[in-house]
């Protein structure tokens, strides 16, 4: 599994390259749009990476044999995060 820092660095590199192209042509509108798009995509990626970590933690906890109460609490926390993510995506 790729590290969070590498994923975010790759995303930033992608946008920086495109931003540099827009800057070379003096396309102010494209630069503004790329800046906004980058910040939005970075937020989405961080949310997805948090969900990935939560799923991995839940999986590890289940395989480590935690008691039933801990399993339920972990599942509830995961569902709460998923609900927050759903509400966030509705804001668009």
* pLDDT tens by residue, 37-71: 999 999 999 988 988 888 887 777 666 555 666 66
| SS3 of residue 67 by DSSP | coil
Higher pLDDT, 87 or 33: 33
- 3-29 per-position pLDDT tens digit: 889 999 999 999 999 999 999 999 999
Distance separating alpha carbons of residues 49 and 71, to the nearest angstrom: 21
Is the confidence at residue 1, as pLDDT, over 90?
Answer: no
Answer positive or negative: Cα dihedral of 64, 69, 75, 78: negative
């Amino acid at each position: 599994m790729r590290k969070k820092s590498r994923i975010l660095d790759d995303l930033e590199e992608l946008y920086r390259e495109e931003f540099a192209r827009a800057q070379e042509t003096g396309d102010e509108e494209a630069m503004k749009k790329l800046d906004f798009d980058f910040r939005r995509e970075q937020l989405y990626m961080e949310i997805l990476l948090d969900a990935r970590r939560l799923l991995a933690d839940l999986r590890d906890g289940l395989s480590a044999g935690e008691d039933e109460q801990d399993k339920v609490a972990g599942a509830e926390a995961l569902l709460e995060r998923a609900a927050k993510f759903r509400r966030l995506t509705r804001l668009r």
